[in-house]
Amino acid sequence: MNTADATMGEDGANGRNQHHHDGGGDEHGHDHPGHHHHDIHDLGIAIVTVSSSRGLDEDAAGDAIAEAVTHAGHTVTVRELINDDADTVQNIVNRLVNRGDTDCVVTTGGTGVTPDDVTVEATEPLFDKRLPGFGELFRSLSREEIGTRVVGTRATAGIADGVPVFCLPGSESAARLGVESIVVEEAPHLAGLARREEAEE
């Protein structure tokens, strides 16, 4: 397993970022002034590439995610490339959501229908809450590029231990689309809401 960490911070859920909140508040999630009171505007984002056939030096999808994340003003806290093994994927994602410096996890790869596409099966048991709208929106956006082949894309997302986890396909274009069009737009809000009570203690 190849790993590469960048801007490493202290591990542990108690040290997780609880900063960069602003505005007024609403506990029902409706869009009006103050709706984004709990947003985390400087996210620490962990990137996990799931692939047995490439290394970090040829990880175009991971590169696209990192570029989109930093361009949006967020920080890549960890970047890892792991084999497409269900136990490995689950263990890595579970470790990352409990890091003190990580507010969001984005995976790329392993969301298709081949026997070794196991990211969905590995991550969904970790979700306390699922976000079905992510996969629905991603497939809707992807249809313009790949047409009806979207039916074979099992992109998914959920909240694991207070941290949004987004699972994207392994292609560079899909990874870029998902992060630029959805993740950087919604992760600050989702991360803030998912840890609202923790932040208010």
The 10s digit of each residue's pLDDT in 33-43 is 444 557 888 99
Question: Residues with Cβ < 8 Å from 157, sequence gap 6 or more?
Answer: 130, 131, 134, 135, 164, 165, 166, 167
Higher pLDDT, 31 or 129: 129
Mean pLDDT of 150-157: 96
Q: Which residue has the tokens 């990137």?
A: 47
Amino acid at 164: P
**Of the listed ranges 119-128, 135-144, 158-167, 192-201, the one predicted with least confidence:** 192-201
Q: For residue 39, what pLDDT is reported?
A: 81
Q: Is the pLDDT of residue 73 over 50?
A: yes
pTM to 2 decimals? 0.82
Q: Is the pLDDT of residue 9 over 70?
A: no
Q: Of the candidates 5, 187, 27, which has an alpha carbon nearest to the alpha carbon of residue 103?
A: 187
Q: What are the Cα distances from residue 121, in Å, to 156, 175, 201?
A: 10, 19, 34
pLDDT in tens, 111-141: 999 999 999 999 999 999 999 999 999 999 9
**Of the listed ranges 4-8, 92-96, 106-110, 163-167, the one predicted with least confidence:** 4-8
Q: Is the pLDDT of residue 27 over 50?
A: no
Q: Is the pLDDT of residue 169 over 70?
A: yes
Q: For residue 16, what pLDDT is reported?
A: 53
Q: Which two tokens stand for residue 65?
A: 């995610």
Q: For residue 20, what pLDDT is reported?
A: 41
Mean pLDDT of 168-190: 97
- As beta bridge partners, residue 3 has 80
pLDDT in tens, 95-114: 999 999 999 999 999 999 99
**Of the listed ranges 3-12, 149-158, 185-194, the one predicted with least confidence:** 3-12
User: Residue 164 phi/psi, 5° resolution?
Assistant: -65, 135
Q: For residue 31, what pLDDT is reported?
A: 47
